[in-house]
Amino acid sequence: MQHDKVLILDFGSQYTQLIARRVRELNIYSEIHPFNKIPSNIEEYKAVILSGSPFSVRGDQALHPDLSQIRGKKPMLAVCYGAQYLAHFSGGEVAPSNTREYGRANLSFIQKGEPFFAYIKKGSQVWMSHSDTIKHLPKNGILLASTHDVENAAYKIEGEPTYAIQFHPEVYHSTDGKQLLENFLVGIAGLLQDWTPDSFVEETVDAIKEKVGNDKVVLGLSGGVDSTVAAVLLNKAIGKNLYCIFVNNGLLRKNEFQNVLNQYEGMGLNVKGVDASKRFLDALAGIEDPELKRKAIGNAFIEVFDDEAHKIEDVKWLAQGTIYPDVIESVSATGGPSATIKSHHNVGGLPDFMKLKIVEPLRAIFKDEVRRVGATLGIDPELLGRHPFPGPGLGIRILGDITAEKVRILQEVDAIFINGLKEWGLYDKVWQAGAMLLPVNSVGVMGDERTYEKCVALRAVESTDGMTADWVNLPYEFLQKTSNDIINKVKGVNRVVYDISSKPPATIEWE
Ligand code: XMP
């Protein structure tokens, strides 16, 4: 089935992905493409949105899209840079703004009876973020809305389905932003709202069947949301021809290997658990440098996975849990800010010598959509709500060299912390939490004895994508109880600290 779809042309704004997500929340399928790579099947897109940009239309670095196949021919919404671009190059005027045009503003004027602003009232809050402003509208421009400081906040072009706004409807602070997008996409452009998790599951299962046929597929499960949802989708499509491998690298959380394996088996997946803890720990012995540790873990993973994949006779495909943000980052207009996140991808670096074709059933969807799809597939909500956990596991939370004893200590500490968060109803309020084992011994007293033992740091952060994060203000009573439990129950630890650094300048993992 073909869905109505929206083309979002990316001029490098930090909010471009948000536009796509907001459109998807309206159950309309959207795709992001760089502003200078208009897809050759442009006729298949029913509407176009131009994103904002870090550049100025007046500067040397201004980005120039070729809109000849779009403008006047399809409904087009130009946001921020897009709105300024239309004005600047079509007979209007853009100039640096005199007043600050960042943050909250309210619509002080809305053109009466204008379908673009249906259900939106004067006073509605919008989010501005620009240093240029539109002084004069382009030729045939009709003013649609203003704020106190920005007269030309929204306009349309007479005789064309072309709309432009200087504020950002995609951010949550624009309280009627979603309504505005709906007015444009449904009311004006006439798109159907038929992109739902159910339809996604149905179509993806069909597409996998067609692509893979009767071939065998191998997939590395991590216990995380993406690989699990990918596996369940594939399982629905090809059943026993899907061979899942779940590797115990010895750096998982306490009891994680067995628990997750049981869960997978309960879900009917054809999964093989491979306990390679010793192989990983041997490979890590004596290594202190964080990057070298990552390399050792990555290489050991590839070896184990490759060994196992070779045992599956005649396997042709490798399935991966790649999601849409990974895809967009690699084609982003300006290179994208997330180069470092990419290198994190633990299964992404499988070597070419495996000679497998790649199938990526989640390539088109965002993380929040992966969860919705997972729910539709009947996956346990607890599994879908799990905090992210890094591929190299506790290996990047043990500073200095890694030994079996240190892993045991950290597993105990981590379990007390995470179970505590659950018991206190705090787990879902935190984006990610974990403990770090520091290469520091300090003096303590226990009973009448002097101790000289390890220090652990607890870390709990709030974030949306891990790119930026802030520490969570956990209740003192919780921290007090957790610290007490850890020191009393975990032999080898006599000191607990709580990390109150944000990212940036710190990172989430200590490595
Ligand atoms: P940092 O420490 O860079 O972490 O602030 C950002 C987010 O990325 C996760 N992370 C990883 N995830 N494989 C992964 O799958 C990795 O190698 C990896 N390294 C870091 C980290 O847990 C946090 O959520």
465 Cα: distance to centroid of ligand 1 (angstroms): 10
Continuous segment of H or E residues that includes residue 269:
none
309 Cα: distance to centroid of ligand 1 (angstroms): 26
List the residue whose alpha carbon is closest to atom 4 of ligand 1. Answer: 508
Give the nearest ligand 1 atom to 346 CA: 13
392 Cα: distance to centroid of ligand 1 (angstroms): 9
The pLDDT of residue 129: 86
Give the nearest ligand 1 atom to 467 CA: 6
Considering 33, 80, 101, 130, which one is annotated as catalytic?
A: 80
Tell whether residue 226 is among the known ligand binding residues: yes
Place of tokens 């930026």: 468
431 Cα: distance to centroid of ligand 1 (angstroms): 12
Quick check: helix, strand or coil at residue 499? coil
469 Cα: distance to centroid of ligand 1 (angstroms): 12
Give the nearest ligand 1 atom to 510 CA: 2
Residues with CB under 6 A from ligand 1: 344, 346, 388, 390-392, 432, 466, 503, 507-509
List the residue whose alpha carbon is closest to atom 17 of ligand 1. Answer: 344
Contact 132, 100 (CB under 8 A): no
List the residue whose alpha carbon is closest to atom 3 of ligand 1. Answer: 507
Encode 212-254 in three state secondary structure. HCCCEEEEEECCCHHHHHHHHHHHHHHHHHEEEEEEECCCCCC
The pLDDT of residue 324: 87
Place of tokens 């949301």: 225
The pLDDT of residue 416: 98
Burial 212-230 (b: 16+ CB within 10 A, else e): beeebbbbbbbbbbbbbbb
DSSP string, 161-194: SEEEESS-TTSTTSTTHHHHHHIIIIIIT-----
Give the nearest ligand 1 atom to 294 CA: 17
Is 170 annotated as catalytic?
A: yes
Q: How far apart are CA 413 and CA 437, in angstroms?
A: 9
Place of tokens 């920005």: 150
Is 265 annotated as catalytic?
A: no
Considering 168, 182, 244, 509, which one is annotated as catalytic?
A: 168
Among 388, 392, 380, 419, which Cα is nearest to 254's?
419
Tell whether residue 91 is among the known ligand binding residues: no
List the residue whose alpha carbon is closest to atom 7 of ligand 1. Answer: 466
Tell whether residue 222 is among the known ligand binding residues: yes
List the residue whose alpha carbon is closest to atom 14 of ligand 1. Answer: 390
Place of tokens 């491979």: 274
Q: End-to-end CA distance of the chain: give it in Å, rounded.
A: 46
* Omega before 505 within 30 of 0, i.e. cis: yes
Q: How far apart are CA 349 and CA 351, in angstroms?
A: 6
Considering 3, 33, 88, 170, which one is annotated as catalytic?
A: 170
Is 148 annotated as catalytic?
A: no
- Tokens at 344, concatenated: 């994190």
Angle at 158 between CA 156 and CA 161, to 5 degrees: 65
Show pLDDT as tens, one digit a residue, over the chain (511 residues).
Answer: 689 999 999 999 888 989 999 999 999 999 999 999 999 999 999 999 999 999 999 999 999 999 999 999 999 999 999 999 999 999 999 999 877 678 889 999 999 999 999 999 999 999 998 889 999 999 999 999 999 999 999 999 999 999 999 999 999 889 999 999 999 999 999 999 999 999 999 999 999 999 999 999 999 999 999 999 999 999 999 999 999 999 999 999 999 999 999 999 999 999 999 999 999 999 999 999 999 999 999 999 999 999 999 999 999 999 999 998 888 766 555 544 333 333 334 444 555 656 889 999 999 899 889 999 999 999 999 999 999 999 999 999 999 999 999 999 999 999 999 999 999 999 999 999 999 999 999 999 988 889 999 999 999 999 987 888 999 999 999 999 999 999 999 999 999 999 999 988 999 999 9
Pairing of strands 162-165, 271-275: unpaired
Give the nearest ligand 1 atom to 224 CA: 15
Tell whether residue 223 is among the known ligand binding residues: yes
Q: How far is CA 76 from the centre of its chain?
A: 27
List the residue whose alpha carbon is closest to atom 21 of ligand 1. Answer: 390
32 Cα: distance to centroid of ligand 1 (angstroms): 25
Angle at 47 between CA 203 and CA 124, to 5 degrees: 110
